[in-house]
Amino acid sequence: MNPLNTAPTHDTGVPPVPPEGSPKSSGQDGTDSTEARRAQFASKAEARKARYEARAAKMAAYSDAMMRESNRIVENIPFGQPILVGHHSERGHRAQIARSHRAMDRSCKAAKLAEYYQRKAEGVGGAGISSDDPDAIEQLRDKARGLQEWQDRAKKINALVRKNDRAGMVALGLTDAQIAEVFTPDYMGRVGIPAYSLQNNLANIKRIEQRIHEIEKRQQRADVEQAGAGYVYFEDVDDNRLGLRFPGKPDAPTRDLLKRHAFKWSPTRNAWVRHLNNAGIYAAQQVRKALDAQAGA
């Protein structure tokens, strides 16, 4: 039982690039624009969930098919029939068993993939606060406030522990079981809320505040579109993506270059994209440098 009733949580964010060019208004587009972004965010989440569910169903069907195939391959072999070593049937018997095992192996792998995609589908919208969410800043502020309340309450409890003030803990709302817990020494003989919990929680608060600052700065960026050697580089602030568009399907070496720098093909955007952050900006610079050098060679 946690005497603080809530446990501190962990949150991470990647710092975006400082504003460049003419700033883009943040929160000045009106309610209609915000509602449209919320609807777009929800639509993307639903589409992502539907894709995962479709993949899960496909893998489950394939798993069932491979299991049936595995059974069909050996259905003509009597149950318990040993391999007759030296008999003319030995080679065919071993081959059938090997084929059956391969089919069963594919069935098991597909079943695991089906479970994986189903977990991904169930986790859509519940894996934390997405920077793509139009309400991300407010959600992060709420989270930071909750962690700060936890921090303040932990400090008060530790102060009461040092004074051995059990009545003060009752006044603070702790139950008898929680009071007994904070007075129970750990493996090093320490009582109260551990210092490392306070330090980790404070670090999480600072990390969330930094992420809020980074999202606010990102929202002040201007959209970018620049023509390169056989590609167009773009940054879309509202979509929180940067990417490269090509006039057609890039060749294999170019695709390998993009994949090595964590770009993913987005059919809906008709481009190779990454999140708009410092890591993405740097990766795009490296890819563009390589493409421009190749074109100039």
Helix (H) or strand (E) segment spanning residue 51: helix 30-73
Asked if 179 contacts 29 with a C-beta cutoff of 8 angstroms, the reply is no
Encoded amino acid at 24, one letter: K
* Distance in angstroms (rounded) separating the CA atoms of residues 59 and 65: 10
The span from the CA of 166 to the CA of 158, in Å, is 11
Are residues 288 and 233 in contact, defined by beta-carbon separation less than 8 angstroms? Answer: yes
- Alpha-carbon distances, residue 128 vs 9, 12, 125, 131 (angstroms): 10, 10, 7, 10
Tell me how far apart the terminal alpha carbons of the chain are, to the nearest angstrom. Answer: 66
Confidence label for 18 from pLDDT (cuts 50, 70 and 90): very low
Residues 168-227 pLDDT 10s: 999 999 999 999 999 999 888 889 999 999 999 999 999 999 888 888 887 788 889 999
Averaged pLDDT score across all residues of the chain: 85
* Domain ranges across the chain: 30-123, 136-219, 224-296
Run of H or E including 226: strand 224-227
What is the pLDDT at residue 188? 86
Query: How many other CB atoms are there within 10 angstroms of residue 144's CB atom?
Result: 19
Cβ–Cβ < 8 Å for 209, 187: no
The SS3 call for residue 245 is strand
pLDDT in tens, 56-99: 999 999 999 999 999 999 998 888 888 889 888 888 999 999 99
Q: What is the largest CA-CA distance in the chain?
A: 88
- Radius of gyration (Cα) for the chain, nearest Å? 29
Kindly tell me if the per-residue pLDDT of 10 is higher than 70: no
> Model-level pTM?
0.54
pLDDT-based confidence at 17, cuts 50/70/90?
very low
- Lowest mean per-residue pLDDT among 12-16, 124-128, 188-192, 233-237: 12-16
The total number of residues written for the chain in this structure: 297
Residue 199, pLDDT score: 95
pLDDT tens digits for 120-175?
888 877 767 777 777 788 889 999 999 999 999 999 999 999 999 999 999 999 99
